Amino acid sequence: MAGLRERKKEQTRQRIAAVALRLFAERGFDAVTVNEIAEAAEVAKATLFTYFPTKESLALQGVGEDDPAGIVTRRQPGDSPLVALRAHYRAFATRQTALANYEALIAQMRVIHDSPTLSTAANSLLYQQRQALARALAEQYGETAAALMAAQIAASLLTLQESYFHRLLSGASPQEAGRALAKDVELAFDLLENGLYHAKEQ
């Protein structure tokens, strides 16, 4: 019974999220109310808030949920932080070539891009992610070096994300965008590991 309840909860959560994204994409984030989302998803407003504590959280699913700090903390003995992060994002890029829900992902990115409120909230989540990464690095490298390292890593990851979404928004297929992302991941971590002056001229 517990498994059935969990599946039903997840189905309800997915339905609410899908309805919210559709309404946001049709009318814009600011024009849609929580009451309208709850009514369209056929749930009570209180039920909606048990799954999504804020209106912003409905639109920002997945944003800031990646965990570079956790990847660094859980890395294998002998691996450097960059080795662990490269392996993670290399695998992530491989998975993107088989992305099934890319249309929903594109819709979400457009909703966020078109809303200053959501763009600010997304930037805040990414800042928190960067701070967590700096804390994970600080024990080994010291606070100042860790903060600088985290800033460089976070900027690289954000650039990878932006380039990937730009390709999707420009009409690239998930396969094309995923292959390009895989190349970009290698370039990004080569630069992080070896420095700017080791970059090859195009």
Under a CB-based contact definition with an 8 Å cutoff, are residues 158 and 66 in contact?
A: no
Residues 16 and 48 occupy one common structural domain = yes
Residues 36 and 87 occupy one common structural domain = no
Residues 117 and 72 occupy one common structural domain = yes
Is pLDDT at 6 greater than 80 in this prediction?
Answer: yes
Report the pLDDT value the prediction gives residue 202, as an integer from 0 to 100: 45
Mean pLDDT, to the nearest integer, of 161-166? 90
Q: What is the pLDDT of residues 44-88, one digit of tens each?
A: 999 999 999 999 999 998 776 789 999 999 999 999 999 999 999
Q: What is the pLDDT of residues 86-128, one digit of tens each?
A: 999 999 888 876 666 778 888 888 999 899 999 999 899 899 9
Under a CB-based contact definition with an 8 Å cutoff, are residues 23 and 36 in contact?
A: yes
Phi, psi of 190 (to 5 degrees): -60, -45
Residues 99 and 19 occupy one common structural domain = no
Average pLDDT for the chain = 89
Residues 87 and 54 occupy one common structural domain = no
**42: CATH:** 1.10.10.60
Report the pLDDT value the prediction gives residue 98, as an integer from 0 to 100: 65
Report the pLDDT value the prediction gives residue 156, as an integer from 0 to 100: 96
Residues 29 and 81 occupy one common structural domain = no
Residues 47 and 9 occupy one common structural domain = yes
How crowded is the C-beta side of 117, counted as CA atoms within 13 Å?
12
Helix axes 102-114, 2-27, angle to 10 degrees: 50
Residues 176 and 76 occupy one common structural domain = yes
Residues 75 and 111 occupy one common structural domain = yes
User: In the chain, how many domains are there?
Assistant: 2
Residues 99 and 23 occupy one common structural domain = no
What range does the domain containing 138 cover? Answer: 68-198
Residues 126 and 188 occupy one common structural domain = yes
Residues 108 and 168 occupy one common structural domain = yes
Write down which residue in 41, 59, 77 finishes a domain: 59
